[in-house]
Structure 1
Amino acid sequence: MFDPTVFDNLKTVLEGAVYDLDLDGVIIVTDRNDLMDLAHFSRTYKIAFQLREYGTDSVTCTITLQTKLEHIAGELLAQNHLKPGCVLEIAFNMSIKQSETTCFRIKEVLTNIWGSNRIIRQTLAHEYQGERNEYDNLITIEFDRLIDEGNVDDLQEMIPYVIESLRRLQPFYGM
């Protein structure tokens, strides 16, 4: 029997919270990745989902949990100077047409939900095809610190914020 790492414990909590919402019919999980990069010795867990009520033409949320070599080594080797933990990122992906006004309003909505101390970044991309004015908007909410097992409650309490964000972003989808 092995002692699970911080990453393993947080991944289990996150996965359970998301799949509970899927079982309750609130969301539908659309993708899941559990990756180990042996070249860089890192682990990444991603789970993507949408609100069930809006179907496939809706905002997608992807929650990413990642740990790197120095965090894993610090934990497994009990190195006090290397803090074990994980990086958490929440991303929303949606299609928009009016980039300037829509992006400004999206930032306002997410700042009201997540607070002004969060880094909210929007990255627009589109394939050049003549007159097409549709953009893929990748919105990330970044936390500028590592999380660990002391943040398990925070991780579970974050899920309602994610659901509220999906609901409040949906009117901007395709706008």
Structure 2
Amino acid sequence: MFDPTIFDNLKVVVEGAVYDLDLCGELQVVDRNDRVELSTMSRYYAIKFTLPDRTDCSAELRLWADTKDLAGEILELDSTLAEIHGCHLQPVFYKYVNKDNAELECVASETLARKIWGDAHLVQKISYTYGDHNSNALQEITVSFRRKFGEEVIEDVPQMIQHMVMMLERL
């Protein structure tokens, strides 16, 4: 009999919570990726959404599990406290900003992210097309928790998505 992995269970909950909010009009799903990487036997899922009235920013929730975690769980291998089986969850935000104000936008975004996500590790990237003086820069804000998640966080997934919506509303 098929026993779903932590990845499968978290993916179903993430997908359901996001599509419930899409159905009631609170957000709009704009992209989704669901991959099995055959070269490394890993899994990756991402769902990207925007607010219905905003096109300048979006959020993406990434979920992935590597070979060691998937195999360890499927084969029921014992995990040590240092290496528990699980998945990574990572909220990522994208916003178009004026290139001239990019540094100020990053400072403001970091302040906002700290209020919402606490002491999670933040990485911000700014990218733009060199030579295109009329384009805006794309700001990418990645929230990393630096730990794996198991099924114990399933009940917290809707709250995490609400935090993502709150961040989008304030960006």
Task: Look up the equivalent residue of 1:78 and give its one-letter code.
Answer: E
Normalised TM-score (structure 2)? 0.93
Aligned 1:1-175 pairs, distance under 5 A: 1-54=1-54, 57-81=55-79, 83-97=84-98, 98-115=101-118, 117-129=119-131, 131-132=133-134, 134-169=136-171
Normalised TM-score (structure 1)? 0.91
Task: Look up the equivalent residue of 1:27 and give its one-letter code.
Answer: L
Q: Deviations over 1:130-149 (max 9, x none)?
A: 53462111110111110010
How many residue pairs match? The answer is: 166
Structure 2: any 5+ residue segments left out of the alignment?
none
Structure 1: any 5+ residue segments left out of the alignment?
170-175
Q: Deviations over 1:16-63 (max 9, x none)?
A: 000000000111100011100000110000000000122xx2311010
Task: Look up the equivalent residue of 1:14 and give its one-letter code.
Answer: V
Q: What RMSD over aligned residues (CA atoms) do the two structures have, in Å?
A: 1.2
The sequence identity of aligned pairs, in percent, is 36
CA contact (8 A) 1:51 1:58 kept: no
CA deviation after TM superposition for structure 1 residue 156, in Å: 2.1
CA contact (8 A) 2:129 2:135 kept: no
Task: Look up the equivalent residue of 1:64 and give its one-letter code.
Answer: R
For the residue of structure 2 that corresponds to 1:52, the secondary structure is coil
For the residue of structure 2 that corresponds to 1:70, the secondary structure is helix
CA deviation after TM superposition for structure 1 residue 155, in Å: 1.7
Divergent runs of 4+, >6 A: none
For the residue of structure 2 that corresponds to 1:9, the secondary structure is helix
